Amino acid sequence: MADLGPTLQTERLILRPTRAEDFDAYAAFMADPSTIHIGGPQVRAAAWRGFANVAGAWAMQGFSMFSVIERSTGDWVGRVGPWMPEGWPGPEVGWGIVPEAVGKGYATEAAIAAMDWAFDHLGWTDIIHTIAPDNIASQRVAQRLGAVNRGPGKLPPPVDAYPVEIWGQSRADWRARRRG
């Protein structure tokens, strides 16, 4: 099956649309209680629905989370990219990196590539990041990206019970920061 979207490369990572062979790593990531993501750990069947949702967004919207592949190993190390399901509070670039790869700067490196792509190719004028208030690691990534905390937000069902803060920045601010 051909990819439904682009492949982006950074110094250490490949970002490409989700493929069926990514599911085992994705399911393990979503089930791991040490990973922090909105909605908490998921059993394999629930992870499949989320995985299919990510893949389907590529077909329906022309964008979605990228699978993040470590160039040196070929390993799936997370998901990063543009995301805007029905009812979402705005166009988001989100991230999630497997625990074994946390601390290497992969979330920031991949998010920079994804944000450049969303601003340049999707024409987005603003990008948000929905982050749980206690997720300090993701808040630090958002800060490294130049985002500011815009305050509490509300997600649509079925994740509406989870508190989030909306971090974000405009395309103009992003481009000025990237030039500087």
For the stretch 50-75, pLDDT in tens is 999 999 999 999 999 999 999 999 99
Lookup: tokens for 77: 């190390």
Model confidence band, residue 41 (pLDDT cutoffs 50, 70, 90): confident
Q: What does the pLDDT read at residue 148?
A: 98
Containing domain of residue 94, as a range? 8-179
Is the peptide bond between 91 and the residue preceding it cis, with omega within 30 degrees of 0?
no
**Residue with token string 């979330």:** 107
Does residue 60 fall inside a structural domain? yes
Q: DSSP letters along 94-127, please?
A: EEEE-GGGTTSSHHHHHHHHHHHHHHHHS--SEE
- Mean pLDDT, the chain, integer: 94
3-state secondary structure of 169: strand
**Of the candidates 116, 56, 50, 122, the residue with the CA atom closest to the CA atom of residue 90:** 122
Task: CATH number of the domain at 139, please.
Answer: 3.40.630.30
Does residue 104 fall inside a structural domain? yes
Please give the helix or strand (H or E) that residue 130 lies within, else none: strand 126-131
Cβ–Cβ under 8 Å, residues 69 and 14: yes
- Segment 166-170 shows an average pLDDT of 98
Q: What does the pLDDT read at residue 1?
A: 52
Does residue 26 fall inside a structural domain? yes
Does residue 68 fall inside a structural domain? yes
Does residue 1 fall inside a structural domain? no
- How many Å separate Cα 99 from the centre of its chain? 15
| pLDDT tens sequence across 70-85 | 999 999 999 999 999 9
**Residue with token string 């492949």:** 7
Q: Which amino acid is at 66?
A: F
Does the pLDDT value for residue 38 go beyond 90?
Answer: no
Side-chain half-sphere CA neighbours of 38 within 13 A: 23
Model confidence band, residue 34 (pLDDT cutoffs 50, 70, 90): confident
Does residue 54 fall inside a structural domain? yes
Between 68 and 36, where is the model more confident?
68
Does residue 3 fall inside a structural domain? no
- Could you say which DSSP state residue 20 is in? G
Q: What does the pLDDT read at residue 68?
A: 98
Q: What does the pLDDT read at residue 40?
A: 76
| pLDDT tens sequence across 82-120 | 999 999 999 999 999 999 999 999 999 999 999 999 999
Q: Out of 36-40, 110-114, 155-159, which region has the weakest mean confidence (pLDDT)?
A: 36-40
Q: Count up the domains in the chain and report the number.
A: 1
**Residue with token string 């509070």:** 89
Does residue 138 fall inside a structural domain? yes
